């Protein structure tokens, strides 16, 4: 986590071009103009990831009220994402980082050497990372911590 703290807070979110659940290409330029919550999660339909994704869905209106878009990213393909999105009524895009290129660019690493880390980034309307929450197991806290930060929209960037 120290590397994430030192390397990404107050830096521009890296360039990316990934496909969503519908096969549409989404890039980092789509982050400009509104706040974004980008959460990296290990796997569609796994127990922890399902809870995390459903919690983001439950509070989606709160994010929208704060002019904030939510985006999930994992290495699963578009079909898996579409099924996951439909099964759990997720009202936000899921991007496919099939080769984990963005995950590696951000040096997020893996838990126990094989599970992709669960990390959530808050990106401001100019594309800069302002808050990071990293916890593999406190899946619901990704939402509560991010919402608390967004409600303050503090100029002071934070990381946990």
- Check pLDDT > 50 for residue 154: no
- Check pLDDT > 80 for residue 30: yes
Annotated catalytic residues are 49
Residue 145 falls inside a structural domain: yes
Residue 89 falls inside a structural domain: yes
| Range(s) of the domain holding residue 115 | 2-14+43-154
Whether the CB-CB separation of 78 and 93 falls below 8 Å is answered with: no
Residue 36 falls inside a structural domain: no
- Assign 42 to helix, strand or coil: coil
- Check pLDDT > 90 for residue 21: yes
Q: What is the pTM of this model?
A: 0.89
Residue 30 falls inside a structural domain: no
pLDDT at 4: 57
pLDDT category, 2, cuts 50, 70, 90? very low
Would residue 89 be called left, alpha or beta, if left means φ above 0 and alpha means ψ between -120 and 50 degrees? Answer: left
Residue 69 falls inside a structural domain: yes
**How many structural domains compose the chain?**
1
The C-alpha atoms of residue 145 and residue 140 are separated, in whole angstroms, by 9
Average pLDDT over the chain reads 88
Residue 116 falls inside a structural domain: yes
pLDDT at 159: 41
- Check pLDDT > 60 for residue 1: no
Q: Which residues are CB-contacts of 39 (< 8 A; sequence separation ≥ 6)? A: 52, 56, 70, 71, 72, 73, 118, 119, 120, 121, 142
């Amino acid at each position: 986590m120290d590397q994430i703290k030192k390397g990404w807070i107050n830096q521009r979110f890296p360039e990316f071009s990934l496909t969503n659940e519908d096969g549409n290409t989404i890039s980092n330029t789509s982050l400009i103009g509104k706040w974004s919550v980008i959460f990296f999660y290990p796997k569609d339909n796994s127990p922890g990831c399902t809870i995390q994704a459903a919690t983001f869905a439950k509070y989606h209106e709160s994010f929208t009220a704060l002019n904030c878009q939510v985006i999930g990213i994992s290495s699963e393909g578009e079909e898996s994402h579409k099924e996951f999105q439909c099964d759990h009524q997720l009202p936000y895009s899921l991007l496919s980082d099939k080769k984990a290129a963005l995950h590696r660019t951000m040096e997020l690493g893996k838990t126990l050497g094989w599970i992709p880390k669960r990390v959530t980034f808050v990106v401001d309307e100019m594309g800069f990372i302002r808050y990071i929450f990293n916890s593999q197991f406190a899946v619901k806290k990704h939402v509560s911590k991010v919402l608390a930060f967004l409600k303050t929209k503090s100029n002071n960037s934070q990381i946990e």
